[in-house]
Every structure is written in C-alpha cells, then in structure tokens.
Amino acid sequence: MPLRTKIECPECDADLVVKRGGVCPNCGARITEHVARVRTREKRVEQVVAVVSTVLVVGVAVITSGATLLEGIAAYAIVGGVMYYLARRTFV
C-alpha cells in the first residue's frame, strides 16, 4: 500500500490536508494544477520502483538458483538495501 505524499502549498508551504475548491485553506492560493503535478510525479515514481524491484527480484532469483541458503539470503538482503536506497523518498 503506497504512503500518501505530503503536498504543500506552493505559496505558503502549509500542508494541504483539505483541498476544498482547489484553493489552499491557509492562504487562498490556487492549487489544482500543483496537486495534479505532484500526484502525477508520485505515480511515475511508484511505477519505476515497481518495475525496477520486479527486475531485481527476478534477477536475484535466477542468479541465486544454484546458491546455498545463506548466499541467497545475503543476495536478497543486498537487493533489498539497494531498493531501499533508490526508493527512500517514497518511504518518508
């Protein structure tokens, strides 16, 4: 389940929890396009992370098919660390 990204107002940097009428509840700035851009960017990031992680899992499964249990665990731990490093902005 993806985490919701905090979207901030481009004018006053307030967190946009409620986006009624396409305006910032704090300063009244128009935020419709800004929110759409942020959501589109996040969707692209999630898609890239999904594709890269799928390729890495398949690659690790193929590479470690003849490995021992400990080597397989180490390989999955390394790939997990790489994915965390690449996608750390989506976890915060």
Three-state secondary structure readout of 2-58 = CCCCCCECCCCCCECCCCHHHECCCCCCECHHHHHHHHHHHHHHHHHHHHHHHHHHH
The ranges assigned to domains in the chain are 20-91
Return the pLDDT at 79.
81
Cβ atoms of 27 and 8 within 8 Å: the answer is no
Return the pLDDT at 4.
64
**Using one digit for the tens of pLDDT, what is the confidence trace for 20-71?**
678 887 787 888 888 888 888 888 888 887 888 788 788 888 888 888 888 8
Return the pLDDT at 3.
55
Name the more confident of 92 and 31.
31
Look at residue 1 and tell me whether its pLDDT is greater than 50: no
